[in-house]
Amino acid sequence: MLRNKNIILGVCGSIAAYKSAVLVRLLVKAGANVKVILTADAANFITPLTLATLSKNPVYTKYFEEETGVWSNHVELGLWADYMIIAPASANTLSKMANGICDNLLSAVYLSAKCPVYFAPAMDLDMWKHESTKENVSKLLTFGNIMIAPTSGELASGLHGEGRMAEPEEIISFISAIIRKSLPLIGKKAMVTAGPTYEPIDPVRFIGNHSSGKMGFAIADELARLGAEVVLITGPTAEKNKQQLQRIDVITAAEMLDACTANFKGTDITVMSAAVADYTPVNVAAQKIKKTETVFQIELKKTTDILAQLGQLKDSNQFLVGFALETENEEEHAKAKLIKKNLDLIVLNSLQDKGAGFKKDTNKITIFNRSADKTTYEMKSKVEVAKDICLEILKLI
């Protein structure tokens, strides 16, 4: 849930600040990008060096560093963050947050943040029970902030009661659970195909195409980011996933067919973006073919149309998306494919568009739905194109 998320961790003056080192380590281990803001009092409990080493980023302590001349832009930090966590949140900082007091970098970033803000209070029992603290917490909750409630136990004062900051593992679990519940595709299963297929001629050579798999991988990552349980079936490619998902590697069109039919049942969303070979050699030589003939012929046979087969198998609860890469009469071919193969959406891209197509980091697409509604997009990165495609899927399901 936290992979590739930008997280600001605010650390306040409390003995519980020692737990922030573990929290940073767990956030980084979960794949998050972490920047730490340390208040002046917090630096009495834990050093910036410790948190900088664990986060792999400089630690922010004040607006302006006299020695280096570096200014910490609180607005940029607030906009950078996907989530802000203040842990430990002292009584003093809670009061500042609740009343808009902006006398340090942490409170300035908090007031600038546009993202969800989580706070994990840590203080002694009497401070936690005080009416002013209760009032401040209530105000923060009405602002939309989310509290990770303190637990009971032995406190630094020697008293026993409520006020201990939640453990770092509990904080990670708490935030991950909330993120998971908010994702639109939670509980949905998705299958995505990507990359080329290689059809062997002999043990050395093959028939293939120029597909890199970039578009399919971006779609699989975006579906996983939206909460879906994703199976990615990919031909040979050097691409790597950024999200956690199940990956199945295949080489030939026949292997991709087997993997797709084995995983299609029970799938809610299927996006077929792989460039599957239309033909494969009838005979594959057992040994490397020697360069002896001036003219050499290879007899080819049609491969099974995987997209059409899945279109026949799908039920009314399954959503099927196909791709059409065309060089002429693009829209007519795409719309015909949409109907013929029983698709819910078809994504058209043309090799006539500069910057679109195989091996590029960008793409330019047009999407048609079953009602023949047409949406055309400008040239974008394939990551952004994947978001557009998934947004269109979300609209229709």
Active site residue 99: no
Contacts of residue 30, Cβ cutoff 8 Å, sequence gap at least 6: 1, 2, 3, 172, 176
What distance in Å separates the CA atoms of residue 81 and residue 340, rounded to the nearest whole number?
45
Instruction: Give 331: exposed, middle or buried? Use CB within 10 Å, 0-12, 13-18, 19+.
Output: middle
Question: 293-329 b/e with 16+ CB inside 10 Å = b?
Answer: eeeeeeeeeebebbbeebbeebeeebbbbbbbbbeee
**Position 5: which residue type?**
K
Q: Catalytic one among 209, 263, 342, 369?
A: 209
What distance in Å separates the CA atoms of residue 294 and residue 285, rounded to the nearest whole number?
18
- Residue 182: CB atoms within 10 Å: 11
Query: Residues 220, 393: contact at Cβ < 8 Å?
Result: no
**Position 86: which residue type?**
I
Token pair, residue 349, equals 């891209």
Q: Which amino acids are annotated catalytic?
A: 209
